[in-house]
Amino acid sequence: MTFDPIQYKTTTRQQWEDYAQGWSDWAPLLETWLGPVTERMLDLAQVGSGDHVLDVAAGAGGQGIAAGRRTGPEGSVLATDLSPAILEYASRAAKEAGLVNLSTLELDGEKLHELPEASFDAAISRLGLIYFPDRHQALSGIRHCLRDGGRFAAVTYSSAAVNGFFSVPVSIIRERAQLPAPAPGQPGPFSLADPEVLEEEFARAGFGDIEVEVIDAPVLLSSAAECARFERESFGALHQMLGAMAPDDQLQVWAEIESALSEYDTPDGFVGPCQLVVAAATR
């Protein structure tokens, strides 16, 4: 089957519309799990007081809120995403956090050239770049938005082999739904796992001073059952893969996923293997 990027983005947008509330509901876990790598991303993007920051594929706003705390009221964060529903949760979360400097804009991450050139001091993207069909277009747009000397930093997943909490469900769903493996270059959770590929993508878009770091970020929960529930309620990408299966068959798949994830249960709770990559560069 030929990959259709337009259909892919249409489906992706709908999945995030459908699961925006789930992603937002799990925000406390997301920020506990992703908090340290988010702070490192902001460090590498050199986000500081008074900066104007672009958050690409912002989701429910966790990293944008963290950036907004750093910029202070003299700075600002523009959170962009394909899904207006999830941006509503980002806006709400920012208000609940007492931030007045975060605004949202529904915008395809591959259309950032529509924003004014050189209008941001820094740009960030947490687990978003991996899902763009045309990453070069997205990265070129991000560079367009940055002032000279501005920094961009992104978080991606490392390889499937060291991300069992996510790769196990993906593998089971792919097998049960009879989905082919993604071709090289196609979007997906592990599409930017190789640090060398990330460096090449950044360089091809015209960035310099490229840095790449690998960070362990295990997913800590009470049990495999809780991890399966977390992913079932909030991971739109998994539901996108399951979309063609009958509801009863989907329930069976989730039961199989929970059973397989129990490999990571320990006496102290669930410890899901996760390794993330942080890449940063300068315009």
Q: Is 231 within a domain?
A: no
Domain count for the chain: 1
Q: Give a yes or no: residue 270 inside a domain.
A: no
Inside any domain, residue 90 = yes
* 3-state helix/strand/coil string of 58-120: CCCCHHHHHHHHHHCCCCEEEEEECCHHHHHHHHHHHHHCCCCCEEEEECCCCCHHHCCCCCE
pLDDT of residue 7: 92
Q: How far apart are CA 253 and CA 81, in angstroms?
A: 29
Q: Domain range spanning residue 45?
A: 5-159+183-220+275-282
Which residues, other chains included, contact 152 with Cβ-Cβ below 8 Å and sequence gap of 6+? 45, 122, 123, 124, 125, 139, 142, 143, 146, 202, 207, 280, 281, 282, 283
In one-letter notation, the amino acid at residue 277 is V
- Gap between the Cα atoms of 45 and 230, Å rounded: 29
**pTM beyond 0.85:** yes
How far is it, in rounded angstroms, from Cα 62 to Cα 31?
7
Establish if 67 belongs to a structural domain: yes
Within a domain: residue 31? yes
Q: What is the pLDDT of residue 172?
A: 97
CA atoms within 13 A on the CB side of 242: 23
DSSP string, the chain: ----HHHHHHHHHHHHHHHHHHHHHTHHHHHHHHHHHHHHHHHHTT--TT-EEEEET-TTSHHHHHHHHHH-TTSEEEEEES-HHHHHHHHHHHHHTT-SSEEEEE--TT-GGGSPTT-EEEEEEES-GGG-S-HHHHHHHHHHHEEEEEEEEEEEE--GGG-HHHHHHHHHHHHHTTPPPPPTT--STTTT--HHHHHHHHHHTT-EEEEEEEEE--EEES-HHHHHHHHHHH-HHHHHHHTTS-HHHHHHHHHHHHHHHGGGEETTEEEE--EEEEEEEE-
Predicted confidence pLDDT, tens digits, the chain (283 residues): 688 999 999 988 998 898 899 889 999 999 999 999 999 999 999 999 999 999 999 999 999 999 999 999 999 999 999 999 999 999 999 999 999 999 999 999 999 999 999 999 999 999 999 999 999 999 999 999 999 999 999 999 999 999 999 999 999 999 999 998 888 889 999 999 999 999 999 999 999 999 999 999 999 999 999 999 999 999 888 888 888 899 999 999 999 999 999 999 999 999 999 999 999 999 9
Q: Spell 27-54 as b/e; 16+ CB within 10 A means b.
A: bebbbebbeebbebbbebbbbeeebbbb
State the CATH number of the domain containing residue 36: 3.40.50.150
- Angle at the Cα of 142 from the Cα atoms of 138 and 144, rounded to 5 degrees: 115
pLDDT of res. 236: 82
Q: What is the CA radius of gyration of the chain?
A: 18
